[in-house]
Each structure stands twice: as structure tokens, then as C-alpha cells.
Amino acid sequence: MIDFRSDTVTRPSEKMRRIMAQAEVGDDVYGDDPTVNELEAWSAHQHGFASALFTSSGTQANLLGILSHCDRGDEYLCGQDAHNYKYEAGGAAVLGSVQPQPIENLSDGSIDLVKLEKAVKPDDNHFAKTRLLSLENTIGGKVLPMAYLTQARAFVDRHGLAMHLDGARVYNAAVALGVDVKQIAQYFDSMTVCLSKGLGAPVGSLLFGSSAFITRARRLRKMVGGGMRQAGILAAAGKLALEENVSRLAEDHANARYLAEQLNTLPGVSCDVASVQTNIVFLNVDQTVAIQALASKLKAQGILISPGYQGMRLVTHLDVNRASIDRLISEWRACL
């Protein structure tokens, strides 16, 4: 199957599978898994943090990050479209009694700092305590500008807040900007990185922060059932993903722009090519197109999409190449 639904669908390469099979393992809850320990120490250094924690998913990493910054009854600021607000089942509120305060995202994915300023609560018994600003990069495929990160850092410092980055696709941002990931990470007190999206590992995310922060997050990971045993099999894949699959993200970005251009040749489809910054393409499909039937026909031809009309999303990744895109366009046109 050619799968355009998300970059979470990538499959481990043969080399990755061999490394996983050969990984030295131990019990990670006891701290005895040498491959996990190596990944955490090495990746913390690579991203400019004191410590790292290997987690089962980006959702878990974000949850642990928010709960490690905030106590019950505290509040975190975030974007209205933030993944950790909109798509993570309300975990911080449900499990940590931490109140999210969402602010609308601007068209470039950033959050207006003036509106954030107004959302910071005064020191008053009537209000939750504002503790944290959480940003996402990339968000909806958009890259937050470095200048904005500088301004956001000044904002949180002025208000005595911490700043967390949902960096599930931060390497897409770094590649698009042409910078080392440390240049983005330097602005944040904590950060997550997803290993199982465009980087191609089968499972896992990393949470970065200070040593004390990660110690607290490790305890919370155990509390929510995230303690893993012989997890080195997965950590080995994650380390290889970081070592070998970062630079090739530029290929995904180029393929996404090509995909956007080709989509515009289809009847009833419109796509803003200029808005494609990384590996996510949004398109509008005319209501006259029977999109559910189209998706079923494409599936029968070995192509998967998530059907929708306004703001429908297609994603490029390491298992999608130019030939895959050409086949999608050809089959889509034939189905019409």
C-alpha cells in the first residue's frame, strides 16, 4: 500500500530491523537496559539538554512534560490547534488536573504574544497559576520562525514561566530552516522529539530537560504505566533514526511541494503550493467530488488517504517517492 495518511505509518528498514534484533537489552525500569541508557545520554547531548527520557509515544512525552512543569490546579498556555490540547484526549486535565488555556494560532502557526500576555493569570486566589507556555514546531506543517522563538523566550522569562516544545516534527523544522536542532532547542526548558514519524522508527519519543526535570518525569512515566522492560530493541531503532534519517527529510519536503503542484492538476482540487513548508500538504476538494467513494476506489488500487473536503491532509514520508505521487495522481484522475 502507498499510504498518504500520515508519516506515522513508516516502516523500519531492513537495516533497522537487524539492529533491533541485535540490540543489547536489560530491564529499563531498573535502569539496566544499556541501549536505552545510551540513547538517552547520547540524544540529550545531541539536543543540548542535561537529560533525556525514552517514552512510548509523543502523547506520553507531552503529558509527562506538562505534568513535570505543573502541579494540580496550575495552568499551561498553548495554541488552539496544539496537539497536546486538541488531540491528546485532554490528558493533562484528566490525569494531572492541569488546566489548558488555548489561544488561537495565527496563520503561520505562532501565537500572538499580546494575546498570551492577556491570558497570563494574576497572583490571585480566584485563578489557576499560569506556569508554562507550550509551543509546537512544526504545527500543521508550518515552521515557527527563529525570531518568534526569541520573542517567546523573552515573554516567558518576563513572566517567570517555563517553555515546552512539542517537537514531534522538530527535525522537519530544523531541516526546513537549515539549522542544527540545538538552535531551536536552546529556547526551551523541555522538548519532545518523535522518533516514529518521518524519522522512521517503529515506536517511541524522547523527552528532554534538566536532570531534576527528567527525574520527576521518569517517576510520572512509571505512574501512568509507561515503564518499559527490554526496551533497547526499540531504542536501537530510535538511535539509528536520528543518526541516518534526518538529512533525508529534505526529500520529503521536496516531494510534498511536488505533490501540491500535481494535485492542482486534478478537477475539483485546489492547493496552495506556497504554503507547503515541510512534509504536510493541505488541499480543498470541491463538494461535487464524492470523496468517500474516491477514497474507497483508491484503497482498492493500493493507495490510502484520509478523505475530507476542506483542509484535507496528505503527508509525505520515507515510504513515499515521486513515483508514488505520480501513481496517486493518475489513479485519482482515473477514479474521477
Dist. CA 12–CA 203, nearest whole Å: 10
Q: Is the peptide bond before 55 cis (omega within 30 degrees of 0)?
A: no
How many Cβ atoms sit within 10 Å of the Cβ of residue 316? 28
Q: Count of H helices and E strands in the chain?
A: 14, 12
C-alpha cell at 40: 538517552
Q: Is the Cβ–Cβ distance between 193 and 182 less than 8 Å? A: no
Q: Tell me the mean pLDDT in the region 137-152.
A: 98
Per-residue pLDDT tens digits for 221-271? 999 999 999 999 999 999 999 999 999 999 999 999 999 999 999 999 999
Residue 336 has a pLDDT of: 85
pLDDT at 73 over 90: yes
Among 2-11, 13-22, 112-121, 282-291, where is mean pLDDT lowest? 282-291
**This prediction's pTM:** 0.96
Residue 288 has a pLDDT of: 86
Q: Is the Cβ–Cβ distance between 318 and 18 less than 8 Å? A: no
Residue 150 has a pLDDT of: 98
Q: Tell me the mean pLDDT in the region 77-103.
A: 97
Which residues lie below 8 Å from residue 31, measured CB to CB, with a gap of 6+? 37
In 143-229, alpha helices (H): 146-159, 170-177, 181-185, 211-223
- Residue 236: Cβ-neighbour burial (10 angstroms; 0-12, 13-18, 19+): buried
Dist. CA 320–CA 314, nearest whole Å: 11
C-alpha cell at 3: 499510504
Q: Tell me the mean pLDDT in the region 203-230.
A: 97
